[in-house]
């Protein structure tokens, strides 16, 4: 049994406990949370830490298998050029280099306090790594197809990868890449594979090119796909959000990723259609590629279930969830630490259906314990130098 104490404990489901003590079993199960009396730094059997204790983070969107692309793509290229760079680098690294970079990223995420990751996989390269990781992963098998002649092979590849993941014991479900990169038939096929109530993620309104394409105005993103053999383009009759709701069943558990260009009408379309819907924000990646931030205030006003992701090291300088929260607090300083931490823990756990174990300090859960240091303890806010370290 361990007793961990700090200036504050954020259980997420209640107000922060000042001079709190959290008692855990040897297996890390939460047994009790209380407010200490007297000098906790001198209390026998109590480990006192200067800072704040929070549950393990949930990274609701990551591409672990792109970790080898750190520092390989310049910032501010815009999405079409970013995709070109990704394709150009595809054959520059060996499987060993890819796996080594992914293993390092996995270890760093765990040490920094991440307990759960929703990870995008286009191949099976990282499957065994994720099976043996200390982090709990849900793998989204991501597929895209914009040529009808490739549809059958794309669907079969998704089936094969889901089967491979399940065969070695890791949770996995299919996921379309984005509305602009998926034929209707692919959306329908992947939804059928996911099944009723299945879990699915999809990139959504992450760049201006997506809006231009679906408004029938063409643009650089459409030009990229047409050059690659796209057999049909949007006719301007519906938005990308309406396109998704036209082909993905309403009973799916959906994670919409990025949402950088999402407007209130877009939100209303999605929220009216899907009843189990989460909005995953990756602010550092959005700034890296497009120098934009997501519509945080609009989503807050709508009381959306906001979760936090890091995206990949091809579009970010690190995969620590706390760094995403620092970006948000620097740009939206009126948002409380409690709210930001809720996005990064319990909301992500709910989105992935793992909140019975993760996301909050509640008796019986085993979410992990993370120490945040170098905060502003008077204002309970993050600072540019705040760090996160796993204690358990």
Q: Quick check: is 347 in a domain? A: no
Reported confidence tier of residue 42, pLDDT bands at 50, 70, 90? confident
Q: Quick check: is 315 in a domain? A: yes
Residue 36's pLDDT is: 86
Q: Quick check: is 144 in a domain? A: yes
Number of CB atoms found within 10 A of residue 150's CB: 16
Task: Average the pLDDT over 121-140 and give the result.
Answer: 98
Q: Quick check: is 358 in a domain? A: no
Distance CA 285, CA 194 (A): 27
Looking at the chain, the whole-number percentage of residues with pLDDT higher than 70 is 100
Asked if residue 265 has pLDDT above 80, the reply is yes
pLDDT digits (tens, 9 = 90+) for 165-215: 999 999 999 999 999 999 999 999 999 999 999 999 999 999 999 999 999
Q: Quick check: is 336 in a domain? A: no
Q: Rounded to the nearest 5 degrees, what angle is found at the Cα of 384, between the Cα atoms of 378 and 388?
A: 85
Taking a C-beta distance cutoff of 8 angstroms, is the pair 23, 356 a contact? no
Residue 290's pLDDT is: 95
Q: What is the CATH number of the domain that holds 279?
A: 3.20.20.140
Q: Quick check: is 7 in a domain? A: no
Average pLDDT taken over every residue of the chain: 96
Q: Which of 99-108, 228-237, 302-311, 313-322 has the lowest mean pLDDT?
A: 228-237
CA distances in angstroms from 94 to 314, 361, 384, listed in the order given:
16, 42, 36
Reported confidence tier of residue 76, pLDDT bands at 50, 70, 90? very high
Task: Average the pLDDT over 344-361 and give the result.
Answer: 98
Distance CA 337, CA 278 (A): 20
Q: Quick check: is 61 in a domain? A: yes
User: Quick check: pTM over 0.95?
Assistant: yes
Q: Which two tokens stand for residue 379?
A: 């204002």
- Compute and round to an integer the Cα radius of gyration of the chain: 21
Which structural domain, as residue segments, surrounds residue 67? 57-319
Structurally, the chain folds into a number of domains equal to: 1
Looking at the chain, the whole-number percentage of residues with pLDDT higher than 90 is 95
Q: Quick check: is 249 in a domain? A: yes
Residue 140's pLDDT is: 98
Residue 203's pLDDT is: 98
Place of tokens 């150009």: 88
């Amino acid at each position: 049994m361990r007793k961990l104490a700090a200036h504050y404990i954020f259980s997420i489901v209640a107000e922060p406990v000042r001079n709190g003590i959290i008692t855990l079993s040897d297996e890390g199960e939460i047994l009790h949370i209380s407010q200490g009396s007297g000098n906790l730094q001198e209390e026998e059997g109590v480990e006192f830490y200067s800072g704040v204790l929070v549950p393990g983070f949930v990274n609701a969107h990551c591409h672990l298998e792109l970790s080898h692309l750190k520092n390989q793509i310049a910032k501010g290229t815009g999405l079409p050029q970013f995709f070109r760079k990704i394709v150009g680098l595809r054959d520059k690294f060996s499987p060993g280099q890819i796996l080594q970079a992914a293993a390092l990223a996995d270890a760093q995420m765990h040490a920094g306090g991440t307990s759960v990751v929703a990870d995008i996989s286009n191949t099976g390269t990282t499957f065994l790594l994720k099976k043996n990781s200390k982090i709990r992963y849900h793998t989204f098998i991501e597929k895209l197809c914009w040529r009808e002649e490739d549809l059958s092979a794309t669907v079969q590849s998704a089936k094969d990868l889901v089967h491979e993941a399940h065969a070695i014991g890791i949770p996995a479900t299919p996921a379309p890449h984005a509305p602009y990169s998926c034929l209707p038939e692919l959306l329908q096929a992947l939804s059928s594979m996911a099944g009723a109530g299945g879990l699915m993620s999809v990139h959504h309104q992450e760049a201006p090119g997506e809006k231009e394409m679906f408004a029938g105005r063409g643009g650089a993103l459409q030009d990229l796909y047409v050059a690659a053999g796209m057999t049909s383009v949007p006719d301007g009759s519906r938005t990308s959000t309406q396109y998704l709701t036209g082909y993905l069943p309403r009973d799916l558990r959906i994670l919409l990723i990025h949402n950088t260009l999402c407007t209130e009408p877009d939100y209303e379309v999605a929220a009216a259609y899907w009843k189990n819907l989460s909005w995953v924000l990756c602010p550092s990646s959005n700034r890296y590629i497009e120098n934009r931030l997501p519509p945080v205030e609009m989503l807050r006003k709508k009381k959306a279930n906001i979760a936090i992701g890091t995206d990949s090291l091809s579009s970010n300088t690190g995969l620590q969830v706390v760094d995403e929260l620092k970006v948000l607090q620097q740009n939206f300083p009126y948002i409380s630490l409690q709210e930001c931490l809720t996005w990064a823990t319990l909301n992500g756990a709910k989105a992935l259906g793992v909140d019975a174990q993760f996301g909050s300090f509640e008796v019986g859960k085993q979410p992990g314990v993370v120490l945040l240091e170098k905060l502003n303890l008077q204002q309970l806010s993050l600072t540019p130098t705040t760090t996160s370290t796993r204690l358990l």
